[in-house]
Structure 1
């Protein structure tokens, strides 16, 4: 059994660096007391980062160091202003805040014709070959934007006939109804995480 005088003071320091961000560094320091034989602590570490963590016991003058790499997490969804419109080329708006995953993230804007029962799998990869960039299938990516190139606010016009990230922003077909979905994707090596928001419904364009 440990007594009050057996309470140990620990200093915890950590430094994190990233393979894809040479100037990045996340570091911190904490002090804590414990009389437990097994020290437990919770650190707020950032995703996709390589950390070196050192724990020093003050009275014992002993330091243990470990290294660990954190995994990729789901990117934050931007704030969108949902729109229902009958305009064939509506301009949609979003707001976003800078995030530590921005260098690994992009926005993909999907067009989905409304036909019967619809299912959209946000986590499903979509073919990025040239055929899908020029000839839209039933659902298709109409634009792709790297998050770092997007400011705090973005106004995007659907169907303006411009290429975004190699994808053709096809003019919408008249007389049909569409959903516009915004997908945020973070990718690192073979891993990918995504989240989706419904951005707009465009009804009966003419």
Structure 2
């Protein structure tokens, strides 16, 4: 009725209130999400390329970060929208994922995962520069940093999961997503997929990295 009432007056009407503000925020974030994701991934790729001088190392790290974030968002959807395992979290009905949740998770998880990646790859690169043996560098780097990465991930996961005790659904949503993403990133990606990929690709990992 609102558009019809103003159709012949030449006036322009606006809708205010919490609902209108939330819808506007949702549209703005949805339109910016792809650009923000591209910027974060590109920045991470260029940074790792400049630091480690390995094209494959940088590309692999940037793409695998998206895997951990995507998996965590899938867990959020399964729990809060599909109801899988929602009883312990006292989620009694379907809850929509807030539009700012993916962006916050993208920013936080990318920062944490880059720390783990740098710990791991820096140690591997040191051995590679010294020996030129990719297999030895992967084994040594993993053995030297696995405990550090695991302990750091355990601390961050405990912090995030502590917020599951909150009464706010959005806070619990973020806590679950961030905690799961850290577990996936530290265990499945940094300590399993990354070393396996580095081992399989051999010296191609360091195609831009000359030995001293």
TM-score (norm 2): 0.26
Q: Which has the higher helix share?
A: 2
Question: Larger Cα Rg: Structure 1 or Structure 2?
Answer: 1
TM-score (norm 1): 0.26
Q: Which has the higher contact order (CA 8 A, sep 6+)?
A: 2
